[in-house]
Amino acid sequence: MTMKNDTLTIAVLPGDGIGREVMPACLELVNAATTMAGAPALAFETHNAGAQYYAESGDALPASTLEACRKSDAILFGAMGWPDIRFPDGTEIIPQLDLRMELGLFAGVRPIRWFPGLPRVLTDPRAEQIDFVLVREQTEGLFYARGRGEIRNDEEAYDTMQITRSGTERVTEFAFDIARQRKRRGKPGNVTCVDKANVFQSMAFFRKVFDEVADRHSDLTKDHAYVDALALNMVKKPWTFDVLVTENMFGDILSDLAAGLIGGMGMAPSADIGDKHGLFQPAHGTAPDIAGKGCANPSAMFLSAAMMLDWLAAKFGQPTLADAARLMEGAVEHTLSTKLAIPMEYGGNANCAEMTRSVISSLSAAR
């Protein structure tokens, strides 16, 4: 896509709980960073969705919100869901899953990087070198079963997982793309297929299609791992990982685990990418236990917005947006490494507002 003349429009969905706290903080930071980088300003348009909005309106993901997401240039998403607010049949309100399916956001990109200043979780000092990307397939796999599951006579229940050639090809191509970009920055340029091909047909198929795609990328390397062994190695030697690609459910589990290695959900950004659309959200949820207290760590939201700027920069040929992304990442890193502000979840006393102020004031240091 070439550069557009008009302003880029961002659909902003703060959602529920701490999503509503970290989102305004994030918009403030993005504005400051784009200004400093001389990047075009973004037009933020806030839309309703989520459990709390459902409680008010009876609609968890209004058609107007979905439509606005479709028309936007990118979607910035806080967090959605709330323990006590459910659909009449008792199921949880999770519009993020609907958005993935509706907008074809097939690649869940979860960069896992340790930042200086963060508490180290693993004793091995090489844990400070953790820097890998987990790519989670997000439109099929076991999640294909959502809404299709079956309970028979209160005796048996079934859910079917689906792996398609096209779904596997596109997510694998995506993973090799990321590996190539990383290789330019000196990373190994390797993609690991994480599966359970020793037991399941669908997983053997996933591996087979992965291998076919890998053959087209002779400039990069590949390997395979069984998901159980990979989970073990994720605590034993995550610093050896480069790019991982895996099925939806496995990716869900592994990405939370991976976030645990770098200080938890408060530091883990994510992007849900499709052919046309990109949605960017922190990996954390709505955190009902701390919501409303203003003490959430907005770092994951900030880093997710930086991923959005990078994606927009590439998509619309606007390198200054990537500059703004570097400023934001650098400012988070500076804040943490200099201990200018320490998030409450790491034993510090910086609440959301203080973290935001510190990160914004660190933008110049990141220049």
Asked if residues 103 and 69 have their Cβ atoms less than 8 Å apart, the reply is: yes
Residue 55 is encoded by which pair of tokens?
A: 């409680």
Q: Which helix (H) or strand (E) holds 199?
A: none
Q: Would you give the DSSP letter of residue 321?
A: H
Q: CA angle 113-132-170, nearest 5°?
A: 130
Nearer to ligand IPM, 75 or 214 (CB): 75
Pairing of β 107-113 and β 269-273: antiparallel
Please calculate the CA angle 200-203-205 and round it to the nearest 5 degrees: 110
Based on CB atoms, which residue is closest to ligand IPM, 8 or 77? 77
Closest CA to 325 of 311, 306, 308: 306
* Least gap, CB of 361 to ligand IPM (angstroms): 31
The nearer residue to a copy of itself, 118 or 306, going by C-beta atoms, is 118
Among 115, 132, 174, 206, indicate the residue that binds a copy of itself (CB under 8 A): 206
Q: Are 191 and 181 a contacting pair, CB within 8 Å?
A: no
Task: With CA atoms as reference, report the closest residue to 80 among 102, 55, 49.
Answer: 49
Does 169 bind a copy of itself (CB under 8 A)? Our answer is no
Nearer to a copy of itself, 163 or 307 (CB): 163
Residue 257 corresponds to which tokens in the numbers above?
Answer: 């685990």
Our finding on whether 224 is near a copy of itself (CB under 8 A) is no
Among 7, 35, 160, 349, binds a copy of itself (CB under 8 A): 160
Question: Any contact of residue 5 with a copy of itself (CB under 8 A)?
Answer: no
Decide which of a copy of itself, ligand IPM, none touches 189; Cβ closer than 5 to 8 Å per partner kind.
none
Please tell me whether residue 142 binds a copy of itself under the rule CB under 8 A: yes
Residues near ligand IPM (CB under 6 A) are 94, 96-97, 198-199, 228, 252
Residues that bind a copy of itself (CB under 8 A): 91-92, 94, 97, 119-124, 142-143, 145-146, 149-151, 154-166, 196, 198-206, 227-229, 231-236, 249-250, 252-257, 259-261, 264-265
